[in-house]
Structure 1
C-alpha cells in the first residue's frame, strides 16, 4: 500500500524527531512522522526534562542550547506543557570548583551569569546556603519541564497543527523518496531519520564512524519533607567534570584531580548531580553514566546510594523517601551531535551527548535549513 506523498517524512518520535517535525511545520511543509512504538518509551521521557544552556560545550552546542531554550519557551505554553521552574544554581563545595565557575564568568558563555557569595546565596536560596558551600553560580537560562509527560503532549499538539503520525509502524527500509514499513510504502520529497538510541537498525555504519555506543544512566524520584521548595535546578562539583563547557576551562583539571582523591567511586560510575523539582513537590535526582555496545537492564544499588549521598551533601534534607528508580539509554559518540546525508534526500540526525532535550530544536532547524545556529 502506498500513501500520498508528503514533503517531509521523519522516522522517530523522540524529541529529535518531534523537533524536526516542528521545524518542518515552521517552513510550511507537509509532515509525517513514523515510529514503531504506540508512544515514546525511550530516552526522551527518561531524563530530567532540564533544558540546560550553561555548561554546554562552547560554540555550536551552546548556541543550539540557547536557541532551543527559546523555542521551548514559545512552544511549551502552546502545547499545554507547564514550565515547572527556571534557572540553575551550581553550588561550589571545593575551592577548585569555585575557581572553575569564576573562570566561566570571564567567557562569552558566562556573560549573563551571576556569582553568589555565601551571604548572597543566603538571601537568594537560604535552604541551600549550608556552611560547606563556598558560593554558587546562578544561570537564568535553564527551564524545566516534566519529560515523561512533555513528549506525548508535544506530539498531540503537533498533530493538531497538521503533522500526521504513523505510530506502531516499524521501518524496514529507507531509500531516496520512500520509507518501507511492512506492506506500506510512505513517499516523501525528503526523509530525516532520528532513531534515538537504536544505533544498529538503520545506517549503523554512520554511527560506527562516530564511534557511537550506548550510555546507560540511573535516576531516582525522591520525596523531600513536605513543603520543601527547590526553586531552581541544582548541580554539584561533580557536574563540572562531566559537562564539556566546564571541562574546557583551565581549572577543571585541578578539580578533577581533587575529585579523584575524594570521590573515586563517583567518577568511576560517571556520577554527577542534577536535582530538579516536579509539580507534586518530588525531586528528580541523578545520574550515572556507563558505556558499552549494549547495556544490561539492571540498576546498581551502589550507584543509587552514591547519587543519594551527593544529593544529601548539597541539599541536607532532614528526611526523604525514594519513590521511583529507573534507567535510561542514549547514544554517545565522539561529537555532541551530527547530521549526515546518507542518501540523496535522506539525512540521519542524532544527538550523541545526552543533550537532546537541550539542543534538538536548534539542531532540527539546522538540518532543514542548512544554516548554522547563530
Structure 2
C-alpha cells in the first residue's frame, strides 16, 4: 500500500477516500472483477470510520430501503470479517426500556416487518440473560439478534490490508485528488487513468464536484465518545446496549405514532431532558480487553468547534450508570468524531456525470449501511449487481 508513489493504471475504478464508504466501493467493484485504486489524502485512516462504535446497527434503521441496506451490509460484514481477520466483539442488541411509553413504542415496532426475529423480554428473564443491565426501573428489554459489533479502529485497517493483499486493490495514501475527468484523474502524485470514479468524501466538502454538495444542504455532526475500563469483576456484555432515548433517536422507532408520547415524557424528565438537548442517546459496547465504548452526542453545525464540554460527557456517563450494572467508570479515552449530515436524508448518491458517482452517508450509519450503498453505486457505474458475485478470493 503506497504512501509515496502511485501506479498510473489503467484502472476501471478510482475510489477517492479510504473510509468505510470508499472501502465498500472497492469491494463491490472487485466483486465485478474490476481493477481498483483507492486514493486517500491522509497517511492513514483517521476519520469518522475509526471514531465510532463499530456497531453494525439494523434494528431501528429507517423503515424501507435503509433498513434493507443495513441487513445487506450486516451480511457482507459476516462474509468479510473472517477472511480479513476482523473479530466480532459481540452480536445482537439489548434495548433497556425504563418507561411505559417506551414499552408502547417497542410493542408497535414489533408489529412491523422490522420486528422480525426480535422480541420483548420481561425484566426477570431479561436480567437472567443479561445480568450486565441495571435492574432498577427496568420494565423490559427489546432483544434483537441482527446486530454485529467490530472494533472500528482495528477493523478499518484490517479491511484495507485484506483488500490490498487478497483482492489486489491498489492503495495510495497521502494523495490529494485535484480534478476528476475520466479517464484522467489529477492527483498530487501525478495523473492516473481510470474509466470511472467514485468520490467518497465523508464530511469533506472541498474536493472534486464539491459545489454540487451545496445543493444538498449538508451540515456536519460532531459527536462525543468515551472509553471506560470496567470495574474488576465478571462484567461482560454479550450484545450492544441502548435505552429509551434511542427510541426517539432512531427513525425506525421514532417514526412510529407512539414515539410522540415518549418524546414528551423524556423532555419533561430531569435526567433525560438535558441529554436530549445535547442529542445524546446511550450506546454501550464492550471490547475484547473488557473496556467499554460509551456514547454518544450529536451537535450540528456547518463548522463544528473542536471542544468537548464536560457536561456532555457527564450526561453520557449518567445514562450509562442508570442503564448498566456498574456503579462507576474510569474513563481512559475521550474523542470526538465528525460526519456529514442532512436533515431528512440518510445518504446521497450524486451523479455529476455518467462515469462519476459522489457518495455520502449523511446519517452516521456508515458502518451499518456502506456495503449495500456501495453495491448500488457501483452497480450503476458498471451495469452489474455486485451482490450476485462471490468474493474474488
Distance 2:368 2:214 in 1: 24
Provide the C-alpha distance between the structure 2 equivalents of 1:129 and 1:220, rounded to a whole number of angstroms.
20
Paired position in structure 2 for 1:213? 219
Q: What is the match of residue 356 of structure 2?
A: 346
Alignment of 1:50-199 (within 5 A): 50-128=55-133, 130-160=135-165, 161-182=167-188, 184-199=190-205
The residue aligned with 1:244 is 251
Residue of structure 1 in register with 2:391 after alignment: none
**Deviations, residues 159-180 of structure 1 (Å, cap 9, x unaligned):** 0110000111111111232221
How big is the shift at 1:229? 0.3
Using the TM superposition, give the Cα deviation of residue 103 of structure 1 relative to its aligned residue in structure 2, in angstroms: 0.5
Give the secondary-structure state (helix, strand or coil) at the position aligned to 1:78: helix
Normalised by the length of structure 1, the TM-score is: 0.97
CA distance in 1, matches of 2:56, 2:106: 19
User: Partners in 2 of 1:6 and 1:201 — Cα distance?
Assistant: 21
**1:64–1:373 Cα contact (<8 Å) kept:** no
CA contact (8 A) 2:15 2:39 kept: yes
2:261 maps to 254
CA contact (8 A) 2:134 2:325 kept: no
Work out whether 1:48 is the aligned partner of 2:53.
yes
Instruction: Select 2:378's aligned residue among 364, 368, 371.
Output: 368
CA 129–119 in structure 1, closer or farther in 2 if over 3 Å, else same: farther
Structure 1 residues 224 and 248, CA, compared in 2 at 3 Å: closer, same or farther? same
Give the Cα–Cα distance (whole angstroms) in 2 for the partners of residues 243 and 135 of structure 1: 18
Residues 134, 323 of structure 2: 8 Å contact kept? no
Q: Could you tell me how far apart the structure 2 residues matched to 1:317 and 1:307 are?
A: 14
Distance 1:183-1:26 versus aligned 2 partners, 3 A rule: closer
Unpaired segments ≥5 residues, structure 2? 1-5, 389-393
Are positions 1:315 and 2:321 aligned together? no
Per-residue deviation, 1:200: 2.7
Is 1:29 the counterpart of 2:34? The answer is yes
Q: Report the CA distance shift for 1:373/1:91 in structure 2 as closer, same or farther (over 3 A).
A: farther
Report what 2:279 is aligned to: 270
- The question of whether the paired residues in 2 share the 8 Å contact of 1:121 and 1:135 is answered with yes
1:306 maps to which of 297, 307, 315: 315
Deviation at 1:4, TM superposition (A): 2.2
Which stretch of structure 1 is more off in the superposition, 221-230 or 81-90? Answer: 221-230
Aligned to 1:336: 346
**How far 1:2 moved relative to its partner?**
8.0
Structure 2 counterpart SS, 1:324: strand
Aligned-partner Cα distance in 2 for 1:282–1:131: 23
Change (3 A) 1:97 1:121: same
* Structure 1 residue 211, shift from structure 2 partner: 1.5
8 Å contact from structure 1 (residues 212, 333) kept in 2:
yes
Q: Residues 199-257 of structure 1: CA distance to partner in whole angstroms, max 9, x if unpaired?
A: 23332333222221110000000111123101110001111111111111111111011
| Inter-partner Cα distance in structure 2 for 1:311 and 1:103 | 26
In the TM superposition, what whole-angstrom CA distance separates every residue of 1:286-322 from its partner, at most 9, and x where no partner exists?
Answer: 0000011101111110000000000000013133201
Q: Shift of the alpha carbon at 1:111? A: 1.5
2:235 matches 1:228: yes
Over the aligned positions, Cα root-mean-square deviation in angstroms equals 1.6
Q: Deviations over 1:260-300 (max 9, x none)?
A: 11122111110000000000000000000001110111111
Query: Could you tell me how far apart the structure 2 residues matched to 1:112 and 1:265 are?
Result: 34
Which position in structure 1 is the counterpart of 2:3?
none
